[in-house]
């Protein structure tokens, strides 16, 4: 075998989940360069050993002695390559290997080389997911004779500043954190902290150890102490303070933000003053600072830090930063998700500061298929804000974003969530209360809902915007016909079409009763619109069309459900009640057999239709001058539909005939007779209950029990 140029070393135990993926990822390197793979088995029992034998050149046993450096050195001792590269089992090499080939086949004045280790915190292993990047020294020229030191956080020793070549495009992907069991994570934390605490006792002014304690001690009570000691060390310029200072202040800002420490803004300023060029300040400190000042409604400072953050991320991906920064720690918040989270909120900050041009320019850089649902919603709000307050053309961006958010990236489920959020936020612009509030604002130049007119051929929001912009009934009918799902139209939009004379349901588009209920419930969000339509229906003739009758019935039932009977004005409440009774009188015989529409069989009807049966008869009795019959029938209706209690109480208090007409003399006589009988018994006597359940008592109960609650009082609820 030809002497290898590169030896690749791996230690493993039980890594059956990911070992083969790691080894397969090495194949492009092995095809491009003379390589060997040397692996140490530290006690595998899950079949990992068999997988290793399929790919490795050398596999040997090394009993685990709680010392990573010892295990890695044992691997190095069996390697014969000019260069050595180490990789972990839960890592895999990015397919782009051009940088490795260029570095290893060209004579350079470096003994070390580093790669980006991308640590994923979720199983979403793409640019949108959560990850951090760390520049790790993973290649060493074997002739240096260097060997690993450190049982935990093992590393190659170096004198002075570590000068290393960063291999361009070289990425080790790592998903171990995404699959880490919380209990094992806690166990691993304690395992790591124990030796670190001991080392720190021996060398308390070591910024490397303090940084490792800060990182490994996340969530532990002593973490704040490590942070404050480390910041003091940076201020006192301990060894390597320039390398580790930005990392330490990054952690300090993050910790102060999470714990709401009073030093938060002081530490932000210190990080910017001491390390303005560090990628940790330009990305992570900027990220947290943006959020802090946004939450305080300090839009000027949030814009400052948001712009700094976006520029920092751009510089990071372009390689415009000091690579040595990443030797000290992992860099977070450079992924697409974090970038879009800041950018979509920054767009809103621009609008708060009356900078619509900047907002629109920034939004034009967004890619809809990379967004999550919240980000898509934020974009919709900003677009509507621009459209309603400024005479700027938002149509091209709206059309592009609509198409992009529907792309199945990374999954169709994510695309569906983005679309749903887009529609949900867009629908808010059609709510009657919001539209009225716009009319009261002096700086609104056009309604926000008009933003969606360019989508008229793509979705219901676009159709809805077109509907609100016209009053021509035939045109409105045509637009309603274009909507694939009428249920997606905001309630006020359908109400507008009905007010303009559209006959509904459309003749060529019959609806089920369930669809009618959904549509009428949508209109019910705009109560005034609903009341107007119900009263309008009450004034018109009862339609011959079963579809139209069913629709009016849906409007009436929705009105009863949402009506605030204790607050509604008398005229409207009486109109709604009479409209309900009138429609029920026409609807019940159409939908139910004659045999069902009697007291004995009413249990077969839904509750509100049971009440409708009695309510119809009650108003007939009232119109015939029988106020007592009216009261009695409403009472009977209440016994079969308890949800009608508020309506019955309203009618008892506001029906004019009950105010102007006293009870019939014979009823007063009957009431007096019953009072006399009741006075002879104790209130808990069984005879009282029998008497109160009689038909005679029911006729005059409202007289006996007083005028405060004439309908409801005393009824079995």
DSSP for 553-582 reads HHHHHHHHHH--TTTS-HHHHHHHHHHHHH
Beta-ladder partners of 93: 172
Of the candidate ranges 256-265, 328-337, 437-446, 548-557, the one whose mean pLDDT is the lowest:
328-337
- Omega of the bond prior to 505 within 30 degrees of 0, cis? yes
* b/e map 259-297, b = 16+ CB within 10 Å: eebeebbebbebbbebbeebbbbbbbbbbbbbbbbbeee
For residue 343, is pLDDT > 50?
A: yes
% of the chain exceeding 70 in pLDDT:
94
Structure tokens at 578: 């009479």
Q: For CA atoms 657, 569, 431, 386, give the dihedral sign.
A: positive
For residue 92, is pLDDT > 90?
A: yes
Nearest to 126 by CA among 173, 80, 90, 88: 173
Q: pLDDT category, 376, cuts 50, 70, 90?
A: very high
> What would the pLDDT profile of 451-508 be if each residue is shown by its tens digit?
999 999 999 999 999 999 999 999 999 999 999 999 999 999 999 999 999 999 998 8
Nearest to 196 by CA among 208, 183, 187: 208
Q: Average pLDDT, stretch 381-398?
A: 96
- Omega of the bond prior to 134 within 30 degrees of 0, cis? no
In angstroms, the CA 705 to CA 717 distance is 16
Burial class (CB in 10 A: 0-12, 13-18, 19+), 594: exposed
Q: Average pLDDT, stretch 149-169?
A: 72
Residue 281 is classified by DSSP as I
Q: pLDDT category, 163, cuts 50, 70, 90?
A: low
Pairing of strands 6-12, 35-41: parallel
**Higher pLDDT residue, 579 or 671?**
579
Class level of CATH domain 1-171: alpha beta
Close Cβ partners of 8 (under 8 Å, ≥ 6 residues apart): 26, 29, 35, 36, 37, 38, 85, 86, 87
> What would the pLDDT profile of 140-158 be if each residue is shown by its tens digit?
999 989 999 876 667 887 6
In angstroms, the CA 223 to CA 490 distance is 52
Of the candidate ranges 501-505, 556-560, 664-668, 681-685, the one whose mean pLDDT is the lowest:
664-668
pTM: 0.76
> What would the pLDDT profile of 623-647 be if each residue is shown by its tens digit?
998 888 898 899 899 989 999 999 9
Q: How far is CA 571 from CA 558, 568, 582, 651, in A?
A: 18, 9, 16, 11
In angstroms, the CA 368 to CA 127 distance is 14
Q: pLDDT category, 121, cuts 50, 70, 90?
A: confident
Close Cβ partners of 653 (under 8 Å, ≥ 6 residues apart): none
Q: What is the pLDDT of residue 137?
A: 87
Q: What is the pLDDT of residue 663?
A: 52
Q: What is the pLDDT of residue 129?
A: 60
Structure tokens at 264: 């938060």
Class level of CATH domain 181-324: mainly alpha
The domain ranges of the chain are 1-171, 181-324, 354-482, 659-704
Query: Crossing angle, helix 473-482 and helix 460-468, to 10 degrees?
Result: 170
Q: Are 211 and 280 in contact (CB under 8 A)?
A: no
pLDDT averaged over every residue in the chain: 89
For residue 332, is pLDDT > 70?
A: yes
Residue 170 is classified by DSSP as E
> What would the pLDDT profile of 233-265 be if each residue is shown by its tens digit?
999 999 999 999 999 999 999 999 999 999 999
Q: What is the pLDDT of residue 709?
A: 34
Q: What is the pLDDT of residue 120?
A: 86
Q: For CA atoms 405, 407, 408, 410, give the dihedral sign.
A: negative
Q: What is the pLDDT of residue 707?
A: 39
CA angle 102, 105, 111 (to 5 degrees): 95
Place of tokens 């009232």: 622
Q: What is the pLDDT of residue 664?
A: 53
Q: Average pLDDT, stretch 185-190?
A: 81
């Amino acid at each position: 075998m030809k002497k290898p140029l590169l030896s690749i070393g791996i230690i493993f135990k039980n890594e059956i989940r990911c070992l083969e993926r790691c080894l397969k990822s090495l194949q492009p390197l092995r095809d491009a360069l003379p390589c060997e793979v040397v692996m140490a088995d530290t006690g595998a029992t899950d079949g990992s050993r068999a997988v290793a034998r399929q790919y490795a050149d050398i596999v040997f046993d090394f009993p685990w002695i709680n010392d990573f450096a010892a295990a890695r050195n044992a691997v190095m001792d069996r390697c014969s390559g000019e260069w050595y590269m180490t990789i972990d089992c839960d890592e895999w090499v990015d397919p782009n290997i051009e940088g490795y080939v260029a570095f290893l086949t060209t004579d350079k004045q470096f003994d070390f080389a580093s790669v980006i280790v991308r640590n994923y915190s979720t199983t979403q292993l793409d640019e949108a997911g959560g990850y951090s990047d760390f520049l790790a020294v993973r290649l060493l020229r074997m002739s240096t004779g260097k060997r690993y030191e450190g049982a935990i956080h093992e590393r190659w020793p170096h004198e002075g500043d570590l000068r290393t070549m960063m291999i361009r495009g070289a990425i080790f992907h790592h998903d171990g954190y995404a699959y880490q069991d919380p209990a094992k994570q806690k166990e691993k934390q304690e395992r790591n902290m124990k030796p670190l605490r001991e080392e720190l006792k021996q060398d308390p002014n070591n910024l490397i150890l303090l940084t490792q304690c800060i990182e490994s001690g996340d969530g532990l009570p002593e973490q704040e102490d490590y942070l404050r000691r480390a910041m003091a060390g940076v201020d006192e310029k301990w060894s390597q303070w320039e390398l580790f200072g930005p990392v330490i202040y990054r952690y300090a800002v993050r910790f102060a933000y999470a714990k709401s420490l009073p030093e938060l803004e002081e530490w932000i300023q210190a990080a910017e003053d001491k390390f303005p060029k560090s990628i940790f300040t330009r990305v992570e400190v900027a990220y947290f600072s943006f959020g802090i000042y946004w939450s305080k409604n300090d839009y000027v400072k949030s814009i400052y830090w948001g712009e700094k953050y976006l520029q920092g991320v751009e510089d990071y991906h372009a390689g415009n930063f000091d690579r040595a920064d990443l030797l000290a720690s992992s860099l977070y918040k450079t992924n697409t998700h974090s970038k879009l989270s800041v950018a979509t909120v920054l767009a809103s900050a621009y609008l708060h500061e009356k900078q619509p041009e900047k907002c629109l320019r920034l939004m034009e850089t967004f890619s809809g298929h990379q967004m999550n649902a919240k980000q898509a919603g934020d974009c919709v709000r900003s677009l509507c804000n621009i459209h309603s307050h400024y005479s700027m053309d938002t149509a091209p961006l709206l059309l592009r974003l609509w198409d992009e958010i529907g792309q199945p990236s990374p999954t169709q489920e994510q695309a569906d969530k983005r679309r749903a959020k887009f529609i949900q936020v867009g629908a808010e612009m059609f709510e009657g209360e919001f539209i009225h509030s716009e009319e009261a604002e002096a700086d609104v130049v056009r309604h926000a809902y008009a933003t969606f007119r360019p989508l008229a051929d793509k979705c219901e929001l676009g159709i809805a915007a077109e509907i609100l912009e016209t009053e021509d009934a035939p045109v409105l009918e045509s637009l309603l016909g274009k909507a694939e799902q009428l249920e997606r139209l905001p309630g006020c939009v359908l109400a507008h079409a009905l007010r303009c004379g559209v006959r509904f349901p459309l003749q060529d588009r019959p609806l089920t009763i369930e669809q009618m209920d959904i549509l009428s419930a949508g209109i019910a969000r705009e109560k005034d619109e609903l009341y107007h339509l119900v009263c309008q229906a009450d004034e018109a003739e009862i339609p011959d069309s079963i579809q139209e009758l069913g629709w009016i019935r849906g409007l009436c039932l929705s009105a009863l459900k949402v009506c605030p009977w204790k607050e509604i004005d008398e005229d409207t409440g009486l109109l709604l009640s009479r409209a309900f009774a009138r429609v029920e009188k026409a609807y019940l015989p159409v939908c139910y057999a004659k045999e069902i529409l009697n007291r004995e069989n009413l249990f077969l009807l839904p509750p509100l239709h049971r009440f409708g049966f009695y309510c119809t008869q009650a108003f007939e009795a009232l119109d015939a001058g029988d106020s007592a019959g009216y009261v009695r029938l409403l009472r009977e209706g209440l016994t079969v539909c308890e949800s009608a209690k508020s309506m019955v109480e309203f009618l008892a208090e506001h029906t004019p005939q009950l105010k102007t007409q006293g009870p019939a003399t014979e009823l007063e006589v009957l009431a007096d007779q019953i009072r006399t009988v009741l006075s002879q018994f104790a209130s808990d006597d069984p005879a009282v209950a029998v008497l109160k359940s009689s038909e005679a008592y029911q006729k005059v109960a409202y007289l006996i029990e007083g005028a405060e609650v004439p309908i409801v009082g005393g009824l079995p609820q």
